[in-house]
């Protein structure tokens, strides 16, 4: 998948791509054709950094409702020639999720489009999952034939069908179709085969066995590394089960590099849990300072690790980054200057989307670093990650006195439910937009319970119905 191209944060498209509340507010104030063009651009070309953790579908669906947006562009996208060669979730998943929310809001055109795509589209499984949550039994029954036609009645086709039934995110359609006489025998056999295959995989799982030695664990980790599958973390857990006091010299030697890269990584990950207050373990980490050593250090949070972090936090490498993250997560108020310096340095050097910012932003809020507010506001405005923006909003709520009357108001329209929850707790009701928005969130059946609970904590029941 290509990295999405994100427009500047000051443009309508950039705001909508980021899922910011201001995106909805600006779209509703813009010419309708311009707003719909930007909205369609977002839905047809997923702008998320990580579609598995960032939300956009409900945000875009609500805007389609507010704009009374037609679905022709989505239809053309779903049934374009590209669908014949690309069945990836990243191409159609967002559009299908938007249609699912629209169907929940009563848009029959969205429901019909989902049914049609579930019958004939390449990413039919996603569409079927959306329908499993929203369609009635009669509508789902009509899809049995078209969906089962994806699986020819050959040994390969039956194996694929068994896997589809076994791995279905929403089992409701398959269970419903099993009650249809014409398909019952085939689907029952597929379900039984799927269960048998899962049992076989569990029995034949390759991995540690009782009675393994420390060297056997190291060998298993090395074999995984040769196959391109690092196993040092599970191998470290195994080491904790098999190692005795007599094995400690061998483990320390391996941690120093005497038995190869896989053994060193395994031994370090074991030692940071087995001997978290041993300065010698930290010396080994500092000596290596590579990816396995840094990963092992990230598992530490005790007093000795914190003391060393105060020394390492200014290092311009991955170990320095890990040390700053440890102080952000577990440091004391006296560590605020180091966390603030790391936050500023990271934004300056790596930009507002840097992965290291997630922990540092949380730390700025946890430690209530008031002078971090300007850089937090910058991260909030500029990051393309709605997940990181939500963390920035929480940190601003703890550090910025202007947050309730500022960003908290637009956060009521944000794409992330956790960000809307923060806004519901903090948004200044003196703003004329806030109370009507809170009432709408409270009445919306698609809204998360946590958000609605936050709304109810701010507004009396008689005001919610007003």
For 222-238, write each residue's pLDDT tens digit. Answer: 888 888 888 888 888 88
The conformation of residue 211, written as its DSSP 8-state character, comes to T
Q: Which residue has the tokens 């589209």?
A: 121
Identify the DSSP state of 53: T
pLDDT at 29 over 60: yes
Find where tokens 């922990």 sit: 359
Q: What tokens does 314 get?
A: 């200014």
Mean pLDDT of 322-331: 97
Distance of CA 234 to CAs 66, 222, 245, 287, Å?
Answer: 50, 12, 20, 23
The HSE-up count of residue 262 (CA atoms within 13 Å, CB side) is: 22
Instruction: Count CB atoms within 10 A of the CB of residue 90.
Output: 15
430 Cβ contact partners less than 8 Å away, ≥ 6 residues apart? 405
Contacts with 192 (C-beta within 8 Å, 6 or more apart), sequence order? none
Alpha-carbon distance of 93 to 74, in angstroms, equals 11
Q: What is the mean pLDDT of residues 146-162?
A: 92
- In this prediction, residue 243 has a pLDDT band, given cuts at 50, 70 and 90, of confident
pLDDT tens-digit series, residues 410-445? 999 999 999 999 999 999 999 999 999 999 999 999
pLDDT digits (tens, 9 = 90+) for 95-143: 999 999 999 999 999 999 999 999 999 999 999 999 999 999 999 999 9
Contact 59, 53 (CB under 8 A): no
Contact 79, 92 (CB under 8 A): no
The model's pTM is 0.89
The predicted pLDDT at position 46 comes to 95
Check whether 378 has a pLDDT greater than 80.
yes
**Which residues does 201 contact at the CB level (< 8 Å), separation at least 6?**
none
Answer for the pair 360, 325: CB distance below 8 angstroms, yes or no: yes
Segment 190-197 long-range contacts (CB within 8 Å, at least 24 positions apart):
190/158, 190/161, 190/162, 190/164, 190/165, 191/162, 191/165, 191/166, 193/158, 193/159, 193/162, 194/162, 194/163, 194/165, 194/166, 194/167, 195/166, 197/162, 197/163, 197/166
Residue 296 has pLDDT above 80, yes or no: yes
CB 399 within 8 A of CB 368: yes
CA 366 to chain centroid: 22
Integer Cα distance of 443 and 126 in angstroms: 28
Closest among 159, 141, 32, 51 to 96, alpha carbons compared: 51
Closest CA to 367 of 321, 412, 398: 398
Do the Cβ atoms of 75 and 113 come closer than 8 Å? yes
**HSE toward the beta carbon, residue 142, CA cutoff 13 A:** 13
Q: Within a 10 A sphere around the Cβ of 458, how many other Cβ atoms?
A: 17
Q: How far is CA 445 from the centre of its chain?
A: 23
Residue 457: burial class (beta carbons within 10 Å; 0-12, 13-18, 19+):
exposed
Residue 292 near residue 319 (C-beta atoms within 8 A) = no
CA distance between the termini of the chain: 47
CA–CA separation, 224 vs 279, rounded Å?
Answer: 30
Average pLDDT, the chain: 91
d(CA 42, CA 366): 33
> Position of tokens 């066995």?
209
Does residue 1 have a pLDDT over 70? Answer: no
Q: Which two tokens stand for residue 332?
A: 């004391």
CA distance 322 to 286: 12
Report the alpha-carbon distance of residue 409 to residue 327 in Å, rounded. Answer: 31
Give the confidence band of 398 by pLDDT, cuts at 50, 70, 90. Answer: very high
Largest Cα separation within the chain, whole Å, is 75
């Amino acid at each position: 998948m290509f990295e999405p191209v994100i427009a500047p944060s000051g443009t309508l498209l950039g705001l909508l791509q980021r899922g910011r509340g201001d995106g909805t507010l600006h779209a509703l104030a813009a010419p309708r054709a311009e707003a719909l063009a930007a909205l369609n651009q977002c839905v047809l070309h997923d702008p998320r950094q990580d579609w598995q953790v960032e939300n956009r579908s409900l945000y875009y669906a609500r805007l389609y409702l507010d704009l009374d947006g037609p679905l022709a562009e989505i239809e053309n996208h779903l049934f374009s020639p590209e669908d014949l060669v690309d069945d990836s979730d990243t191409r159609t998943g967002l559009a299908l999720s938007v249609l699912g929310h629209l169907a929940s809001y009563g848009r029959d055109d969205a429901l019909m489009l989902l049914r049609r795509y579930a019958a004939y589209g390449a990413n039919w499984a996603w569409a079927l999952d959306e329908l499993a949550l929203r369609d009635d039994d009669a509508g789902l029954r009509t899809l049995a034939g078209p969906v089962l036609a994806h699986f020819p009645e050959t040994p390969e086709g039956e194996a694929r069908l068994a896997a589809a039934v076994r791995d279905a995110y929403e089992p409701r359609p398959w269970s419903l179709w099993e009650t249809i006489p014409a398909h019952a025998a085939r689907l029952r056999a597929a379900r039984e085969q799927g269960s048998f295959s899962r049992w076989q995989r569990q029995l034949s799982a390759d991995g540690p066995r009782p009675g393994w030695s420390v060297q056997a664990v190291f060998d298993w980790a090395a074999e995984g590394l040769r196959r391109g599958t690092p196993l040092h973390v599970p191998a470290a857990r195994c080491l904790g089960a098999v190692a005795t006091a007599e094995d400690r010299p061998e483990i320390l030697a391996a941690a120093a590099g005497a038995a190869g890269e896989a053994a060193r990584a395994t031994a370090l990950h074991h030692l940071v849990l087995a001997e978290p207050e041993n300065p010698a373990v930290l010396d080994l980490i500092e000596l290596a300072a590579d990816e396995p050593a840094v990963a092992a250090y990230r598992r530490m949070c005790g007093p000795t690790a914190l003391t060393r972090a105060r020394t390492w936090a200014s290092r311009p490498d991955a170990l320095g980054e890990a040390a700053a993250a440890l102080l952000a997560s577990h440091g004391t108020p006296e560590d605020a200057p180091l966390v603030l310096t790391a936050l500023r340095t990271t934004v300056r050097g790596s930009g507002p989307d840097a992965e290291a910012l997630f922990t540092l932003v949380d730390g700025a809020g946890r430690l209530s670093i008031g002078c971090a507010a300007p850089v937090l506001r910058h991260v909030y405005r500029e990051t393309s990650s709605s997940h990181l923006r939500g963390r920035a909003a929480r940190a601003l709520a703890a550090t910025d006195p202007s947050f309730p009357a500022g960003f908290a108001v637009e956060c009521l329209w944000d794409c992330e439910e956790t960000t809307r929850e923060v806004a519901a707790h903090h948004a200044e009701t003196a703003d004329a937009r806030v109370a009507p928005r809170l009432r709408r969130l409270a009445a919306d059946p698609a809204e998360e319970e946590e958000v609605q609970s936050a709304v109810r904590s701010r507004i009396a029941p008689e005001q919610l119905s007003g």
